[in-house]
A and B are shown apart, each in its own frame.
Chain A
Amino acid sequence: MQRIGDAPALRRLLIGAAVALSALFLLLPLVAIFAQAFSQGLATFWVNVSDTYTLAAIGLTLFITALTIPINLVFGVMLAWLVTRFTFPGRRLLQTLIDIPFAISPVVAGLVYLLLYGRNGWLGGWLDAHDIQLMFAWPGILMVTVFVTCPFVARELIPLMQAQGSREEEAAVTLGASGFTLFRRVTLPNIRWALLYGVILTNARAVGEFGAVSVVSGAIRGETNTLPLHVELLYQDYNTVGAFASAALLALIALFTLAAKAGLEWRAARREALA
């Protein structure tokens, strides 16, 4: 059956244009990251990556990410359970509110935290008096990272849990399952892949957040410098190869994210085909 755009010449033209433009604007930058990182050989790359300040930045980024994921995992599951399993006034509003981080520019997100918890902020004076420093220290970085990544898990779960409905869970309750058993044995097996994808997205963004973190971090080398901030610092110091060595590590995480997404989608498509 002839469909629109099936003529061989047009088809070739469109595929060619799509591939060429994607190669130029997406693939070339990706290749350039690794080309720059390894431009002075593997040994230099290794020296750059194992530099004390780079290792400290990697450590801080991993630490922040390791704390962000469980926080947003619990919040995402709770919120998805709440808005897909119950009706109550304000349900719609709650669903709209969790999109706030997507609407706010990262710099503005960092700023509002700084205004509240910084030395001149509403709570900052009290915190200062009690010798608690949140801004320009790791707790501030954690707070803004949680803020910018909090929609990801919930956004993956809500459509899926809505589509699946709650019949199986109601059946389990009728059969006497406790809340925890119900979640572990009935809900979790149904949502685990969406949950995993939400975590992967949270991870990618938590590792790579720049704008919000740069406002609240102070970027003290070895102390409050995350890996993306370290990339900026090295780049501004004209240490391009060093900057790209750290950038290559971040690009690897991005590639892992893309592969994981493709894998999960392939799995879902195959299950759909089998069903």
Chain B
Amino acid sequence: MSQRAAGSRLALPFPGRTQRVLPGFGLSLGISLTFVSLVLLLPLTGLVGQLAGLSLGEYWAIISEARVVASYLITLGAAAVAALVNAAFGLLLAWVLVRYDFPGKRALDALMDLPFALPTAVAGITLATLYSSNGWMGQALAPLGLEVAYTWVGIALAMAFTSIPFVVRTVQPILEDLPHEIDEAAMTLGARDGVAFRRVILPHLWPALVTGTGLAFVRSLGEFGAVIFIAGNMPYETEITSLMIFVKLQEYDYVGASAIASVVLATSLALLLAINLWQGRFIRRLHGGN
């Protein structure tokens, strides 16, 4: 792709000097840089400014307060469960949508994007109503002794709902591009479905599967709108970290909110960086190790 981009430069007889053929470099560079600086980068300085006044000890005291630590554990645990559930569900759905033809397939495929299209607050009140003790699902699950609303199961459910598309949409294109010969070779050699899938298909899919699961996990860590309605928001029990930030803000504790936000921000940026690096390494290996 860098070759293509380089194609829009015309080499002049003097080495080291090139001229751009296409117009608009200055304009697009100017607008892009202005926008990125003002909209994306400048606001982040607000966070730095707010934290600059804190000593390391004060910072540590805020981010390691018992109630806050409990919220990290709840958020991480529920997000991990949500991501793992989505890994299984996403793999199943990607497989069914790519490999089989059946009536209603297009509608099912379209339905997979619902969680991204539906506003999170709408998802939140809907799940809370469905799974509350007099909701459709709540009533169905009550005889089984399963309580979802206002427990951490509800938090995990809401996180899983909002991050469904990640795994399906990362695995689907890889599965579509797998050549038929792979299947045929395995089947000709007499492998059973389960073994063939595990040994032949899964090795091709798992980088996409891990990426999708990782993205679902990161999204779940930051989810707010869908979770707060079903969570119950009891300190130490069903309070997520995003809500902790919100609670601090309502108490006008800007410093506390900023300190916790910096932990959330650093965690999600580190995770995304890790996913990107890992993905990059895999793609390099796929293209012959350069």
Chain A bound to chain B: yes
Interfacial residues, chain A to chain B (CB-CB below 8 A): 1-5, 7, 10-11, 14-15, 17-19, 21-22, 25-30, 32-33, 36, 74-75, 78-79, 81-82, 84-88, 91, 94, 96-101, 103-109, 111-118, 120-122, 143, 146-147, 150, 162, 165-167, 169-170, 173, 178-179, 182-183, 204, 207-211, 214-215, 228-229, 231-232, 235, 240, 243-244, 247, 250-251, 253-255, 257-259, 261-262, 266
Q: Are A244 and B125 in contact (CB under 8 A)?
A: yes
Q: Are B242 and A211 in contact (CB under 8 A)?
A: yes
Q: Are A108 and B115 in contact (CB under 8 A)?
A: no
Q: Are A261 and B110 in contact (CB under 8 A)?
A: yes
Q: A21-B89, A103-B218, A214-B225 are in contact. List 7 more A-B contacts (CB 8 A).
A: A78-B28, A79-B28, A87-B5, A99-B272, A111-B47, A165-B7, A254-B122
Residue of A with least CB distance to B37: A97
| Interface check B283, CB cutoff 8 A | no
Q: Are A86 and B4 in contact (CB under 8 A)?
A: no
Contacts of B130 in A (CB 8 A): 28-29, 32
Q: Are A111 and B245 in contact (CB under 8 A)?
A: yes
Q: Are A259 and B95 in contact (CB under 8 A)?
A: no
Q: Are B22 and A94 in contact (CB under 8 A)?
A: no
Binary A-proximity of B85-103 (CB < 8 A = 1, otherwise 0): 0000100110111011010
Q: Are A166 and B7 in contact (CB under 8 A)?
A: yes
Contacts of A106 in B (CB 8 A): 222, 224-225, 242
Q: Are A254 and B121 in contact (CB under 8 A)?
A: no
CA distance A86 to B149 in the complex (A): 52
Q: Are A36 and B129 in contact (CB under 8 A)?
A: yes
| Interface check B197, CB cutoff 8 A | yes
CA distance A28 to B161 in the complex (A): 12
Binary A-proximity of B1-42 (CB < 8 A = 1, otherwise 0): 110111111000000000011111101110110011001111
Residue from B39, B115, B200 in contact with A147 in the complex, judged by beta carbons closer than 8 Å: B39
Q: Are A97 and B41 in contact (CB under 8 A)?
A: yes
Contacts of B231 in A (CB 8 A): none
Q: Are A14 and B40 in contact (CB under 8 A)?
A: no
Q: Are A169 and B22 in contact (CB under 8 A)?
A: yes
Give the contact stretch, choosing among B59-67, B205-213, B258-266.
B258-266
Contacts of A115 in B (CB 8 A): 43, 46-47, 49-50, 254, 258
CA distance A94 to B257 in the complex (A): 29
> In whole Å, how far is B102's beta carbon from the nearest beta carbon of chain A?
5
CA distance A105 to B99 in the complex (A): 35
Known: A105-B268, A165-B7, A231-B121. A211 touches B46 (CB 8 A): no
Contacts of B272 in A (CB 8 A): 99, 103
Contacts of A253 in B (CB 8 A): 117
| Interface check B221, CB cutoff 8 A | yes
Q: Are B269 and A103 in contact (CB under 8 A)?
A: yes
Residue from B7, B117, B119, B137 in contact with A258 in the complex, judged by beta carbons closer than 8 Å: B117
Contacts of B99 in A (CB 8 A): 3, 5
Known: A17-B92, A254-B118. A94 touches B110 (CB 8 A): no
| Interface check B73, CB cutoff 8 A | no
Contacts of B164 in A (CB 8 A): 25-26
Known: A88-B29, A107-B246, A173-B22. A26 touches B92 (CB 8 A): no
Q: Are B46 and A101 in contact (CB under 8 A)?
A: no
